[in-house]
């Protein structure tokens, strides 16, 4: 995906819907319902996104979809609400936390299978800072890291080890037993 698929106006509309959905959640306990027909054509397309919330440079919630399940603007509204109120790692967002809340939206490209021969081959194929990865292993183990995670885990070997942990596997789980997909994101941010 090109790094500027969405223009400034489209990005601001997505951020505004995310803000309104969080506000709606604080006031009504439910995500904002949007009519996709009231938005530009690109925001009506079926696309997947993640919404990440940070406070004081610390993660406060992150929820999204890996595959498209609805229009992009509906996905933004649903995931903003879920990141604020349904991320199981955090208590629901409180109104007094919104003053310094940052909203990050990442629109995903369609995931592509990432075949590899062995760990060395895989490490050579990874593009730090560019690739998001989806890892799937037997017995329902699945996890993903957005490309932004490379900022905390810049070394491919560490990135893979932590992704295995996130999927509920040992950090040294044999890669021959997993399937991987890669995707890119167009990401942008704003304040609540």
Domains of the chain by residue range: 8-108, 112-184
DSSP notation for 83-132: HHHT-TTSPPP-GGGSTTEEEEEEEEPPPEE---SSHHHHHHH--TTT-E
Buried b (16+ CB within 10 A) or exposed e, 145-183: bbbbbbeebeebeebbbbbbeebebeeebebeebebbbb
Q: pLDDT (tens digit, 0 to 9) for every residue of the chain, 192 residues total? A: 445 899 999 999 999 999 999 999 999 999 999 999 999 999 999 999 999 999 998 999 999 999 999 999 999 999 999 999 999 999 999 999 999 999 999 999 999 999 999 999 999 999 999 999 999 999 999 999 999 999 999 999 999 999 999 999 999 999 999 999 999 999 999 999
Tell me the pTM.
0.90
Same fold, 8-108 and 112-184: no
Q: Could you tell me the sign of the dihedral formed by the alpha carbons of 125, 169, 179, 187, in that order? A: negative
Cβ-contact 22, 86 below 8 angstroms? no
CATH of region 112-184: 3.30.1490.150
Per-residue confidence (pLDDT) for residue 4, from 0 to 100: 82
* Architecture in CATH of 8-108: 2-Layer Sandwich (3.30)
């Amino acid at each position: 995906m090109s790094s500027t698929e969405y223009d400034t106006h489209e990005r601001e509309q997505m951020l505004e819907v995310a803000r309104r959905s969080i506000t709606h959640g604080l006031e009504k306990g439910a995500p904002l319902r949007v009519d996709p027909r009231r938005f530009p054509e690109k925001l009506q397309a079926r696309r997947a996104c993640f919404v990440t919330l940070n406070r004081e440079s610390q993660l406060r919630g992150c929820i999204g979809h890996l595959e498209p399940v609805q229009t992009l603007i509906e996905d933004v509204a649903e995931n903003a609400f879920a990141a604020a109120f349904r991320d199981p790692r955090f208590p629901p967002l409180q109104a007094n936390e919104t003053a310094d809340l940052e909203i990050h939206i990442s629109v995903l490209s369609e995931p592509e299978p990432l075949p590899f021969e062995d760990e060395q081959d895989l490490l050579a194929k990874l593009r730090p800072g560019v690739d998001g990865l989806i890892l799937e292993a037997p017995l329902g183990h699945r996890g993903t890291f957005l490309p932004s995670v490379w900022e905390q885990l810049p070394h491919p070997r560490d990135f893979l080890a932590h992704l295995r942990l996130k999927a509920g596997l040992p950090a040294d789980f044999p890669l021959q037993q997993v399937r991987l997909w890669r995707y890119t994101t167009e990401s942008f941010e704003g304040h609540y």
